[in-house]
Amino acid sequence: MKKILIIGASSGLGQRLAMDFAKMGWRVGIAARRESALKAIKEFYPENVEYRTIDVTATDAVERFNLLIEQTDGMDVLLFASGIGFCDPELSQSILTDTLQTNVVGFARIVAEAYKYFRRTANNTPGQIAAITSVAATKGIGISAAYSSSKRFQQMFLDSLDQLAHQQHVNVKITDIRPGFVRTPILKEDKQYPMIMSIDHAAPLIEEAIIKRKRIATIDWRWSLVTGIWRLIPQCVWRHIELNW
Ligand SMILES: NC(=O)c1ccc[n+]([C@@H]2O[C@H](COP(=O)([O-])OP(=O)(O)OC[C@H]3O[C@@H](n4cnc5c(N)ncnc54)[C@H](OP(=O)(O)O)[C@@H]3O)[C@@H](O)[C@H]2O)c1
């Protein structure tokens, strides 16, 4: 039975993927801060779901993550799905700090620990580190500066681990999942977003990227096209483009 640990499984994409992997018969270890939501998933699939509360911004996050690995009897795949994001044109200090604590510090401490776990264990069975980053990392987005740059950090960290794994002969595959807008609680309910996807559309594409062990997967093909065009736009032109999300 394959084992996946999903951090950020109490709502949105992480929750849906936890349910889907459990349904597919995987052993699933889930974590987030809200215990009631984790417990509800366990109640659906009592045989193959284990849970533990983890706040990735807390100093005990790594210790609790290792306990969850033990509780799940090991780990073949880590999926890091925790994240926060805000539209913040005022550059509030609290939003800046919270976003970096969660998406940068929290992300790096869990992903680094997963890498070290696979370095110890993945000689025979290959490991996989997957993370949900975002298309928002493609260019600096003025109204979401902290979010956009935190997602760029995540992508760069994953690229770095991919190279480190090669140098250190660690049998671990890195999967960077980059969705466009998906209707989940991270988005404002009353706001319009371009090319927004339903979770029913996005989740199977993310699952396919994990199962096929893709290196980078942009969700979906339309966002792949759009971000390809964004990359061609020089900063002197990009700065004039008003994104209104
Ligand atoms: N939805 C989109 O349009 C979209 C697009 C691109 C990328 N993404 C990325 O996809 C990932 C999942 O987001 P989502 O759309 O599914 O949003 P969501 O429903 O708000 O889920 C976010 C998850 O992160 C967890 N989380 C937040 N802070 C945490 C902390 N300090 N410690 C542990 N877990 C924490 C939340 O759980 P608790 O609150 O219970 O801790 C929740 O389970 C995020 O990284 C997001 O940036 C989303």
For atom 19 of ligand 1, the residue with the nearest CA is 12
The pLDDT confidence band at residue 190, using thresholds 50, 70 and 90, is confident
Task: Convert the pLDDT of each residue in 86-129 to its tens digit.
Answer: 999 999 999 999 999 999 999 999 999 999 999 999 666 789 99
The pLDDT confidence band at residue 48, using thresholds 50, 70 and 90, is: very high
Q: Compute φ and ψ for 75, nearest 5 degrees.
A: -150, 130
pLDDT at position 52, please? 98
Q: How many CA atoms lie within 13 A of 12 on its CB side?
A: 22
Is 3-238 in CATH node 3.40.50.720?
A: yes
pLDDT for res 122: 65
Mutation to probe ligand 1, out of 30, 33, 51 (largest number of atoms < 8 A from CB)? 33
pLDDT of residue 123: 67
Instruction: Give tens-digit pLDDT for 24-43.
Output: 999 999 999 999 999 999 99
Nearest CA to ligand 1 atom 11: 81
Q: What are the extents of the domains in the chain?
A: 3-238
Integer angstrom CA distances of residue 219 from 133, 176, 180, 198, 205? 11, 11, 6, 11, 7
* Overall pTM > 0.95: yes
